[in-house]
């Protein structure tokens, strides 16, 4: 489930007079910053998230430009999760505006996947006034791509036997973890669609992407991904950073900023009962040159004075260029009391099941697309 133009939609809920108007959430025009979210009216003018705010203003000076109100968005996000919980407890919040839900077994109660999807959208809309796009599939990857397939207010259901056809014509850029840099590599290799990726020998991918990424993208191309939903992950770091309106040389100003940021980090850490051993200081100079320095202590802290002291020492000892500073930040990580298990979309499900799934998929693919794929992966052995 993916909420449509989330921040912008919340603003339109809050200010009915914004409805039907282009809304851009992010920095104010004239400030340094980017678009965090754009309403669909704003997107019609070519405004996209992550676009510099100056560019957005150029494209549509009449848009409503509003600063983000994260507390309110978090409220809405929680409310949506509560709505989902009325349908199933097996929910995982993937971000502030996305969640995965395990609806297997729900069919007996509610009917086919389409009905479940419609019900999810309906309840979210009734309860919060927001629209959501929903994708239903046999695993997280397919569900996610399904939710992206039709937006806004979309509903896409992909049955297991449709997975390969669904993926085949897709641009590889739709795959998870494939950003600008990796796209350049794929371009050089002449791979544009998932189908082309599928028929590229694994060895060739490994040469250009490294073993891990090659295997990850190959699996995705076959529609193989984890299907496990786990709620409550726990964060792994807390950080605060700020970009100055104009670059700063004055070390007193930098120290003051670091003090404020350290206090923010410490407050959040205490509120969440976390305490970190690693302190990280981040700095960005004019020209977007960015550096981090970190220090791992034997003891953990959520004390602002200690965080500040370490961050300032890192800054002074860092042998960094003496240039005007654009951004400065501080964070803590590496909690004392062990870390919760983690997953990402490259992670394989339980190994044996995955192997079975791979072999089944390879059979299906080779039947459909011919021998290209047989060059992928190790030879099959008995009983494997």
Residue numbers at the binding site for DNA (CB under 7 A): 27, 32-34, 36, 49-50, 52-55, 68, 94-98, 144, 176-183, 210-213, 235-243, 268, 278, 287-288, 290-296, 327, 329, 331, 333, 342-344, 346
Q: Which is nearer to DNA, 106 or 277 (CB)?
A: 277
Q: How far is the CB of 367 from DNA (least distance, A)?
A: 30
Which CB sits closer to DNA, 68 or 324?
A: 68
Q: In the complex, what is the shortest distance from the CB of residue 60 to DNA, in angstroms, rounded to a whole number?
A: 16
Q: What is the β-pairing status of strands 325-335 and 237-248? A: antiparallel
CA 331 to chain centre: 20
Report yes or no: 25 and 37 within 8 Å, Cβ to Cβ. yes
Cα 132 to Cα 1: distance, rounded to the nearest angstrom: 6
152 backbone φψ class: left, alpha, beta (φ>0; ψ -120 to 50) = beta
How far is 366 from 348, CA to CA, in rounded Å?
A: 22
Query: β-pairing, 35-38 with 290-301?
Result: unpaired
Compare residues 341 and 379 and give the one whose CB is closer to DNA: 341
Name the residue nearer to DNA (CB basis): 166 or 186: 186
State yes or no: is 82 an active-site residue.
Answer: no
Smallest distance, DNA to C-beta of residue 30, A:
9
Instruction: Report the nearest approach of DNA to the CB of residue 192 (Å).
Output: 15
CA angle centred on 280, ends 296 and 282, rounded to 5°: 155
Helix axes 70-85, 113-128, angle to 10 degrees: 140
Distance of closest approach, residue 99 Cβ to DNA, in angstroms:
10
Catalytic residue, candidates 41, 92, 98, 304: 98
Query: Rounded distance, CA 361 to CA 19, Å?
Result: 46
User: What's the min distance (Å) between Cβ of 139 and DNA?
Assistant: 15
Taking Cα atoms as reference points, which of 149, 139, 211, 199 lies closest to residue 174? 149
Rg of the chain on CA atoms, in Å: 24
Cβ count near 355 (within 10 Å): 13
Q: How far is the CB of 274 from DNA (least distance, A)?
A: 10
**Dihedral-angle region of residue 319 (phi above 0 means left; psi in -120 to 50 means alpha; beta otherwise):** left
Which residues does the annotation mark as catalytic?
A: 98
């Amino acid at each position: 489930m993916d909420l449509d133009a989330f921040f912008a939609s919340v603003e339109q809920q809050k200010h009915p007079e914004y409805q039907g108007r282009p809304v851009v959430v992010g920095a104010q025009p004239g400030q340094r910053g980017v678009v965090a979210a754009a309403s669909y009216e704003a997107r019609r003018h070519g405004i996209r998230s992550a676009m510099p705010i100056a560019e957005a203003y150029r494209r549509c000076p009449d848009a409503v430009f509003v600063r983000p109100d994260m507390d309110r968005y978090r409220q809405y996000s929680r409310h949506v999760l509560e709505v989902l919980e009325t349908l199933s407890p097996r929910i995982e919040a993937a971000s502030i505006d996305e969640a995965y839900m395990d609806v297997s077994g729900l069919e007996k109660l509610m009917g086919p996947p389409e009905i479940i999807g419609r019900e999810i959208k309906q309840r979210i809309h009734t309860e919060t006034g927001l629209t959501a796009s929903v994708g239903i599939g046999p695993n997280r990857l397919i569900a996610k791509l399904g939710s992206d397939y039709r937006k806004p207010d979309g509903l896409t259901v992909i049955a297991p036997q449709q997975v390969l056809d669904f993926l085949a014509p897709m641009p590889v850029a739709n795959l998870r973890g494939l950003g600008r840099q990796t796209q350049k590599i794929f371009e050089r290799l002449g791979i544009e669609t998932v189908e082309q990726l599928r028929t590229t020998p694994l060895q060739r991918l490994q040469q250009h992407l490294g073993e891990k990424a090659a295997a990850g993208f190959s699996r995705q191309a076959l529609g193989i991904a984890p299907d496990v939903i786990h709620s409550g992950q726990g964060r792994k770091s807390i950080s605060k950073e700020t970009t100055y309106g104009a670059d700063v040389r004055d070390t007193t100003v930098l120290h003051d900023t670091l003090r404020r940021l350290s206090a923010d980090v410490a407050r959040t850490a205490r509120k969440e009962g976390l305490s970190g051993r690693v302190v990280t200081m981040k700095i960005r100079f004019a020209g977007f040159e960015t550096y981090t320095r970190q220090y791992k202590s034997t003891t953990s802290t959520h004390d602002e004075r200690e965080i500040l002291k370490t961050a300032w020492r890192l800054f002074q000892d860092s042998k960094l260029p003496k240039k005007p500073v654009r951004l400065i930040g501080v964070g803590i990580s590496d909690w004392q009391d062990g870390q919760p298990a983690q997953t990402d979309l490259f992670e394989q499900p339980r190994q044996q099941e995955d192997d079975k799934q791979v072999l089944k998929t390879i059979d299906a693919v080779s039947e459909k697309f011919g021998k290209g794929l047989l060059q992928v992966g190790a030879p099959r052995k008995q009983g494997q």
